[in-house]
Structures are given as structure tokens and as C-alpha cells.
Amino acid sequence: MKARPRVELPPDVEATFARAMRLEWLSLVLMISTAVLVYATISHSQAMKAVFVEDALSLIPPIAFLITGRIRWRTPNERFPYGYHRSVTIGYLCSAVALLSLGLLILFEALMTLVHREHPSIGVLGLFGHQIWIGWLAYPVLLYSIACEYTMGRMKQPLAKELHDKTLAADGRMNRADWMTGVAAMLGMTGIAFGWWWADAVTAALIAFEIVRDGWENLKEVLTDIMDEVPTKADEEERADWAAKLRDHVRGLDWVRDADVRLREEGNLFTGEVYVVPRTLDRAEERGAELIRSARALDWRFYELELVLVEKL
């Protein structure tokens, strides 16, 4: 069986990818540290529990990225002739499902807390010989968490755009949701301190709602990817005109009477067919190979485009 060739990335993309891998390692370490700290200050607060779950969940995208980062560029072989790029989609699917299901769980618990009018009990912790109410400890912990999430989210966003990486983009979006969650949890904790027992559960419900929304958006996107949707932007600022660009380029070639393309996404890459109605079949192999080469020069994301010569479109 003829396997696809190995993906050759331009050096600058390769370097960006390596940077993204390093960033995800750092992110993983920071997220573990925040999750541990938040866990220590949960007490009986629903909001802090929601923050913890969200922090713990935000480990999944970096892990998915780091694992698939090793797999995705593997050389296609007899067993996987189309290569390993779909592993990215699998990683993305995992994080979306985890987000959605745990979000629903927290939302349910928070609403039940409100229905049962359960008051959150928050006790005292001994720290360096002082007895401190755990609610106060939650503030520095949450501030640390917010700082980590905010910076990580801001750093991942441009990389996700450059690499057209949806796992990374989802990860960045999750970081953004996480730091907002942190702010909400601070408000919830302040509510508890003032003796408003419901503030905690209301905040937890809002956070959970945000997690559910995030999970749902991601799930929708990953499912449409699996359905071979036309390439869509990974980041809001990315331009999604790759198909038009490629079609216009091919139409501009002198031996082409008319042309169209059919594209889908495979991880960071785009693949699909280029349909050409040729003016002439002279030196067709040579011209075809040149067309594919020039397409790759147009954008590094085009990979293994198939040239199909047709009578009419």
C-alpha cells in the first residue's frame, strides 16, 4: 500500500511548534500547582470545588497536545497510510467531552445546593502557627490561579493561530474561562464571608454554566471536524479563506480552463482534492506536480492535495 509522504514543515513553523510544546509543558506544571493549591482551600465551598474541577480539567488539553504532539508528525506507514494527524482531533474530542460532562455535574450539584438551601461550612486552617479562616486563604490562591491562567491563555492564543491548532486554541479559551472563573469564585467567597450562604452556590452555578458552554462549543467544533467540515478558523482572528485562495491560484494557471477545490482538515493540516478542467493534456504529469508544489508554497498547511483532471466541474 502506498503511504503518504512525511509532512515537511517550514523551519519557522517547526520552531513555533517547538515553542508551543515548551509552553504546554510549562502550562501543565502551572496548572498542576494551581489545582493542588485550590484543592487545599476547597473546604465545603461549591464554588471552590468548581474552580478545582475546572483547574483539574484544564490539565487535559495540555496533556492531549503534548501526547498528540509526539504522534501527529509520525511518518505514515502501511498500517496508517493516511498518517497520524487525526490524533489531534481525538485529543480535542477528549477534552470537549470531559468539559461538558463535568460542567453538567457541577451545575447539577450547585442547583441542588440552592434547592436544599445547604449552607457552605468553611473552617479554619493552621498555617505557620496562625489559625486562619480558609475563606481568606482562598484569595491568594485564586489570585495565583488567575495570574497563571491569564498569562497562559494570552501566550497560547497567537501560537494557536500560527499553527492552526484547535487543541491549543481550545486550551487557550479554557484558560480564559478559568481566570474568569477565579474572579467569580472570589466574589462567591466574599459572599460567604458576608454571611450570604447562597452566593457560593450561585457562583458555582455560573462557573458550571460557563464550563458547560465551553464544552458544548468545543464538542460541536470537534464533531464537525470529524464530519470533514470545510477548514474553519482555529482562532477568532485567523482568516478562513484558504479554499478561495487555493482555487484562485489554480484558476490563474495558464493550462487550466477552470478549477475548484474540496478541502477538509486533518489536525493542523488541510487536505483534499483539486479539480481541474485542463486546456491541454500536454506535459500533464509535470504540470500537475508543479501545481501541487506551488499550492504548498501558497500555504504550509496544504498537504497531500490530489489533482483530479475532469471534463467539467
Partner 1 sequence: MQIVLLVVSLAALACDAPRDPEETLTRVRRGGVLNAGASEDPPFLVRRGDDAVGIEAALIKDFAARNGAHVHWVWGAQETQFRALEKYQLDLVAGAVSAKTLWKKRVAVTRPYLESTTILACRRGVVPPTDLRDVEVAIEDGDPIGAEIEKQHGNVKRMHPLDVNQNVVAGNRTRILGLGYVFVETLQREKRSLATAPGENAFLQALEVFLAQRHDAIANAAGEQP
User: Applying CB under 8 A, what is the total number of residues that bind partner 1?
Assistant: 26
According to the binding rule CB under 8 A, does residue 183 interact with partner 1? yes
According to the binding rule CB under 8 A, does residue 128 interact with partner 1? no
| Cell numbers standing for residue 100 | 461538558
Instruction: Give the one residue of 79, 115, 194, 286 binding partner 1; rule: CB under 8 A.
Output: 194
Q: How far is the CB of 124 from partner 1 (least distance, A)?
A: 4
Report the C-alpha gap between 235 and 192 in whole angstroms. Answer: 37
27 contacts: CB under 8 Å, gap ≥ 6: 62, 152, 156, 171, 175
Q: How far is the CB of 6 from partner 1 (least distance, A)?
A: 46
According to the binding rule CB under 8 A, does residue 151 interact with partner 1? no
Buried b (16+ CB within 10 A) or exposed e, 29-61: ebbeebbebbeebbbbbbbbbbbbbbbbbbbbb
According to the binding rule CB under 8 A, does residue 40 interact with partner 1? no
Instruction: Give the one residue of 3, 4, 32, 44 binding partner 1; rule: CB under 8 A.
Output: 44
Report the C-alpha gap between 80 and 221 in whole angstroms. Answer: 25
User: Under a CB-based contact definition with an 8 Å cutoff, are residues 247 and 279 in contact?
Assistant: no
Q: Is 42 helix (H, G, I), strand (E, B) or coil?
A: coil
Stretch that binds partner 1, among 51-59, 81-89, 161-169, 193-201 (CB under 8 A): 193-201
Instruction: Give the one residue of 193, 253, 284, 292 binding partner 1; rule: CB under 8 A.
Output: 193
User: Under a CB-based contact definition with an 8 Å cutoff, are residues 269 and 7 in contact?
Assistant: yes
The residue (of 39 and 136) whose beta carbon lies closer to partner 1 is 136
Under DSSP, the state recorded for 234 is S
Cβ neighbours of 242 (radius 10 Å): 22
| Cell numbers standing for residue 265 | 482538515
Torsion angle, alpha carbons of 209, 210, 216, 220, to 10:
150
Instruction: Give the one residue of 190, 243, 262, 299 binding partner 1; rule: CB under 8 A.
Output: 190
Instruction: Give the one residue of 121, 248, 257, 281 binding partner 1; rule: CB under 8 A.
Output: 121
Stretch that binds partner 1, among 164-172, 189-197, 253-261, 290-298 (CB under 8 A): 189-197
* Phi, psi angles (nearest 5°) of residue 234: -85, -30
Contacts 24+ apart (CB under 8 A), 221-225: 221/92, 221/96, 221/166, 221/170, 222/89, 222/92, 222/93, 222/96, 222/166, 225/89, 225/92, 225/166, 225/265
Q: How far is the CB of 189 from partner 1 (least distance, A)?
A: 8
Instruction: Give the one residue of 63, 114, 124, 243 binding partner 1; rule: CB under 8 A.
Output: 124
According to the binding rule CB under 8 A, does residue 114 interact with partner 1? no
The residue (of 80 and 136) whose beta carbon lies closer to partner 1 is 136
Q: How far is the CB of 48 from partner 1 (least distance, A)?
A: 14
Report the C-alpha gap between 135 and 140 in whole angstroms. Answer: 10
Q: How far is the CB of 182 from partner 1 (least distance, A)?
A: 9
Instruction: Give the one residue of 32, 67, 118, 253 binding partner 1; rule: CB under 8 A.
Output: 118
Stretch that binds partner 1, among 136-144, 253-261, 265-273, 299-307 (CB under 8 A): 136-144
Stretch that binds partner 1, among 20-28, 47-55, 121-129, 273-281 (CB under 8 A): 121-129
According to the binding rule CB under 8 A, does residue 108 interact with partner 1? no
| Cell numbers standing for residue 247 | 482555487
- The contact set with partner 1 (CB under 8 A) reads 44, 118-124, 126, 131, 133, 135-136, 139, 143, 146, 183, 186-187, 190, 192-197
